[in-house]
Chains A and B, each alone.
Chain A
């Protein structure tokens, strides 16, 4: 990794530090302070937007590990979110387990489901694996909807009990804001650290060429299944947080369309970088909100277009955004961010 001019690493510990210079640390402190005092000034609308975007970012970090780093394409990520949401809700509602236990259990359940549907990745890859994950999406939602309606609530909505953490009840946007932000910071830090460890390096090797990486002594099966476990664990945690945040979940919240949206966010943000999920989720979230705001305004000018204009604008702009990014900037906004950082480090010399 390149440093700012004049900063030299003279030990391995310095070489591995994430916040190497004083300016980085100061920037981080300012950022944390900004997010700490944000609820005091931010309106309800902004807090809701930040909360839902942050939950999406947690899920995207998992998808980034699975698809961005390990190269195992998953188009069924929201189904694993559903597994996390439903298993934590059922544990809380039916067995009365406390929230701090339900959350990791949701992640664990989703991770195990991920391993199950990751098993075909040992034999097939590329398009075929993508099809397996699409099938996983449909099969998981079917399992929630049909066979055990008395446990999972069937096709109708399931109520989630109130979050109670040691006597403290989470019931406002602000409470959830702090909780989700802390979770986001922790999960991002863990993801970043994992991808710098030898597991992360093994994932990248598997992505670049799985047969060559096997020849170099990487256990392919272990690596792929581990990637599926970690990626789906993140999805499960995100799903569990989401369930407790919105308090009502139904199978229709976790569709193939939303899985496609998540992959699209990751591509727009940039695959295989820690900042990618943040950029992608914020970009698409902003795009969606602006379409929803613009829709009624366009209808007031051209009334013939009908009532569904917001929904159709959202879909069309998403499709166009994904296509344009893939053609003109396939490495996403994250790549632009890296270029910006690099030019800051080298400033005022461009070489």
Chain B
């Protein structure tokens, strides 16, 4: 790779743009993570498996079953939303008030189960891709070649984030969920059903994960490695602070840019672990992230 002169500058900008667009997907998945953490104080370690499972499900509706894209997308989102809603009833509701290790392991158990199920259903489908929706071509913006797929993903993610923030700021359901996140007891005394709000947050998280899986699968193909995105999304949420949606998106972008830069300039091995290096640094120096709430504990 030539890193000198004007060409180096173009590579730099190109990597930056790719990083931001990939980071946007990370941020999107991290939003689902933050949503569940806010509403029920549970870390969802199954988020990555949900992404992978959603992508495979979307693929099997689109390609082997051959349903028209619009109908398939609506069907898949409805299915995963219902599944997320059901997950709250069992096994997550019995986990309210349980120690942290139990809640960690219950989500990891869900994740391992989903991976096993995906292995059962799709282990013979290797190297599959989504059918292309737009033909890939390169557009020059200020002499920087950028793929239109990158731009498409970026704008799609942006629309989704705007829709989500509108939902949380203006719709009745969204406001209920935010109230439940603030304090379970207070929300309950105001007549909000907290369990339903938590179930709705799981449903939305599952839908967001599936959309993220679709976007990511569109870029890099669908395989079982997609589930590793889950932990990268955790790192993104952590950088932004666990209580903040805009922090999650921002953190995702930081992680994405750091990944493409290390991938472009240093090497593939470091690219894999850079999210975790950032995660450890944040945990040591600023444990509550950029936009998170600092907790003070008393005995």
Contact = CB atoms under 8 A, between A and B. Distances in A.
A binds B: yes
Interface of A: 67, 73, 75, 119-120, 123-124, 126-128, 130-132, 134-136, 138-139, 142, 145-146, 209, 211-212, 215, 257, 260, 263-264, 267, 271, 305-309, 311-320, 322-323, 326-327, 330
B112 A315 contact: yes
A260 B112 contact: yes
Interface in B282-299: 283-284, 287, 297-299
Contacts of B67: none
Contacts of A313: 116, 120
Contacts of A127: 43, 100, 104
B102 interface: yes
A209 B280 CA distance: 24
7 contacts: A75-B104, A119-B284, A120-B283, A146-B269, A211-B298, A264-B105, A267-B101
Given A306-B120, A316-B117, A319-B113, 13 more contacts: A130-B43, A132-B279, A135-B283, A146-B269, A212-B299, A263-B105, A264-B105, A264-B109, A308-B123, A308-B124, A315-B113, A316-B116, A326-B102
Interface string B94-112: 1100101110111011111
B299 A142 contact: no
B108 A260 contact: yes
Given A124-B287, A319-B110, A312 B98 contact: no
A209 B105 contact: no
Contacts of B111: 319
- Nearest 5 Cβ contacts at the A-B interface: A319-B113, A315-B116, A316-B116, A308-B123, A312-B119
Interface residues of B, number: 45
A323 B273 contact: no
Contact of B283 (A124, A267, A271, A326): A124
A214 to B, nearest CB: 9
Q: Is the interface of B mostly helix, strand, loop or mixed?
A: helix
Contacts of B273: 138-139, 142
B234 A326 contact: no
Contacts of A209: 299
B112 A123 contact: no
Interface in B110-156: 110-117, 119-120, 123-124
B182 interface: no
A326 B95 contact: yes
Contact of A316 (B102, B120, B235, B270): B120
A61 B111 CA distance: 25
Given A127-B43, A315-B119, A135 B280 contact: yes
A323 B116 contact: no
B120 A308 contact: yes
